[in-house]
Chain A
Amino acid sequence: MKKTDKTAITAALFAAAMGAAAAGGGSADAAGMSEAELSLAKFSAVYGPPPDYYYTDIPVTTEYDPFEVVPQPDYGPIYIYTTTAAAPEETTPVTELIPQPAYGPMWTVPVTEEVQTTAVTAVTEATEPVTESVTEMIPQTAYGPPLIVGDLTGDGEVDTFDFVRMRSLVSSLIPNNDSVKMYCPGADMNGDDDVNVADLVTLGRYVIGRPVTIVFRGTPRRFNEGSEYNRIPILDEDGNYVYDPFDPLPQPAYGPPIYVDPVVEPSTLSPEDMRAQPVYGPPNDYIVDPTEEIPTKFIEEPTFQAVYGPPSYFGLEDK
């Protein structure tokens, strides 16, 4: 179809409207912006531009060495560290709020008796203890925010930010290809394995509180010939996370997937296999006791500054 001056002017009008929102500040009415545009402007002023949802330059392999540092993506490290914290002798169940990264979603880790030997509950494992608190827990992915259908910005919420992002996606302002579908499964609101205007309408109605049906067909999404799966908690109309505890691993929204041999029973995973990844910023050392000495390993490693936002000083509040 022919692009003309008229179509260019129309596109420019829309771009100007969205650009006015990105410039931030002011009231929606004063700037002639919608509430969604104002929200995006405020979000961008604090966190920078929302992240992209796919990588094409990260090698995807079927083998994974848990002790290997995975190549760093554009933002946020993919540092995988195993905890070396000593197992506490006490067996009293503890629910501990892990030190919150400077930004990114908070996670809570239910610690039960059965995982007491590690500083970190294997939130990535589907074990019986996990199921007890599944509705309270935001499953932690290797890095990046947990996957929620409708959550395109990765902030753990389904709101107007996501709608604006979805609109950009659907209107082809950002590439919409198989990589997006693969690494942004949360954009597919109706389970048809495609991201299109139908998903935009569903998300828009959900955001403004109208009744919708969000469909996740439950089919595990394969990322390669291996047997890796992602587990996606579904946000239902009541705002609860619906989560199948017996699915194996949650899949990060972006970055390489987590690979675990599916024949290995999750309950048999060793502490070395349990890895918790911060959303972005330097790696987390999941030390239950924040006064415990930081392993030298972390001190020697360079601190990675996230692409945007302040650096995280996990467990280093005194610094």
Chain B
Amino acid sequence: MLNTKNKERNMEALRVYREGLKTVPRLRHLFLELTLRCNERCLHCGSNCGDVTSEELTASQYAKFLAEVKGDMGTDGKMLCITGGEPLLRKDFFEIMGSAHDLGFRWGMTSNGTLITPEVAKDLKRVGMGTISISIDGLEGTHDAFRRTPGGWQKGMQGIENLLKEGGFKAVQITTVVTHKNIGELEELYKIFNDMDIDSWRVINIEPMGRAKQHPDYLLTDDEYRYMFEFIRNKRIAGEPVTYGCSHYLGMEYEREVRDWYFICTAGTYIASIMANGDITACLDIERRPEFIQGNILRDRFKDVWENKFQIFRRDLSDSNEKCKACPDVKYCHGDGYHCWDFDKNEPQLCFKDILF
């Protein structure tokens, strides 16, 4: 619908820019996985949270690490993204984030919202939280069943209300993972969220990774993908702050139309992550394989790792797949996102070719 010539021009510029990023990466988002503990057990969890042992760094180790990053790389243009598990399960959460705030880091987080009481909302504001994304994965029954947490929907919605009531945050976002079970609820969810004072609603599809691989009945059909993207686009046509996520190349028709930017996987070029045990990797959504661990903050200096390693992420995945190499969209898709790649079969786990374009 939007001007395709403009899209091609912008995507070509982005392609050139991405080539530059491979050789001169710029850290913009530093993900901190504070814990793998979680008070919910979502069927689609990419980190298998709750089912794995969580070795966690201490608050002082985080403080030392962040001070080192600030000293080596500065805080300008960088944002900490706090995730887990459920980060608020850490008793020393506010100590850790207080240190980050005192050092001058901007930060945001993801949460299921169940632990956000009015006092917690107040403390989040006190320690400088800028943005937050709360997961709501359907209407009440669907959400509770999907996350295997009775009462989770009510608590999550209440957490959002507490944040909105506290106010003063840059953005409060709701994220919904669309599955085969909840795709029929999007309109109802829209009506509910439209009445709330949130800043945006991120609608993303379930990915065949983590625990979701054990539940293929939750994956979307081709028609359901199309429905979801048309839903997002039509809301955006009407000026609503609904957006798709960062994943996947969507083809010329949907690129720029379901999100405010074009596809680019920035794992290892813009994004680095620190796992709960201190291991350094690119994106926490990527399958956890030994070859992706680039170091550990307890023994390595992060700046050195960022500048001298990460080569495994600073390449095109399409180079290792003949079908991708032959695809006319490869120059924009470059093999799609890292977290969507099957590294055993060397092919994308989910490709929207023949679905969307």
Contacts and interface: CB of A to CB of B under 8 A. Distances in A.
B237 A11 contact: yes
A267 interface: no
B240 to A, nearest CB: 6
Interface string B163-202: 0000000000000000000000011000001101111110
Nearest to A4: B241
A173 B237 contact: yes
B4 interface: yes
A201 B241 contact: no
Interface stretch (A45-53, A121-129, A192-200): A192-200
B3 interface: yes
B3 A32 contact: yes
A34 B187 CA distance: 27
Interface in A195-247: 196-198, 200-201, 204
A32 B6 contact: yes
A319 interface: no
A297 interface: no
Contact of B235 (A8, A29, A171): A171
Contact of B237 (A1, A3, A29, A171): A171
A14 B3 CA distance: 9
Contacts of A165: none
Nearest to A164: B1
A82 B89 CA distance: 79
Nearest to A32: B3
A204 B194 CA distance: 27
A196 B230 CA distance: 10
Contact of A1 (B2, B3, B198, B257): B198
B227 A11 contact: no
A47 B213 CA distance: 53
A188 to B, nearest CB: 14
A270 interface: no
A173 B198 CA distance: 22
Contact of B199 (A2, A14, A18, A201): A2
A10 B239 contact: yes
B260 interface: yes
B338 to A, nearest CB: 27
Interface in B1-36: 1-6
A4 B237 CA distance: 14
Contacts of A157: none
B171 to A, nearest CB: 9
A84 interface: no
Contacts of A56: none
Interface in B232-247: 234-242
Contact of A167 (B187, B196, B223, B234): B234
A221 B115 CA distance: 49
Interface string B199-228: 111000000000000000000000100110
B94 interface: no
B352 interface: no
Contacts of B239: 3, 7-8, 10-11
B231 interface: yes
Contacts of B238: 11, 171-173
Given A2-B197, A4-B199, A14 B230 contact: no
Nearest to B173: A1
Contacts of A173: 237-238
Contacts of B201: 1
Given A13-B2, A17-B2, A197-B234, A1 B240 contact: yes
A201 B236 contact: no
Nearest to A11: B239
Q: Which of B231, B237, B240 has the most chain A CB within a 10 Å cutoff?
A: B237
A7 B193 contact: no
A2 B237 contact: no
B237 A201 contact: no
Q: Which of A3, A18, A32, A173 has the most CB of B within 10 A?
A: A32
Nearest to B228: A197
B227 A201 contact: yes
Contact of A32 (B4, B230, B234): B4
A247 to B, nearest CB: 30
B199 A17 contact: no
Contact of B1 (A2, A7, A8, A37): A37
Interface of A: 1-4, 6-8, 10-11, 13-15, 17-18, 29, 32, 34, 37, 167, 170-173, 196-198, 200-201, 204
19 contacts: A3-B240, A4-B199, A11-B239, A17-B1, A17-B3, A29-B4, A32-B3, A32-B4, A37-B1, A167-B234, A171-B235, A172-B234, A173-B237, A197-B187, A197-B230, A197-B234, A200-B234, A201-B223, A201-B227
Interface of B: 1-6, 186-187, 193-194, 196-201, 223, 226-227, 230-231, 234-242, 257, 260
Nearest first, the 7 A-B pairs at minimum CB distance are A32-B3, A11-B239, A171-B234, A171-B237, A14-B237, A197-B231, A172-B238
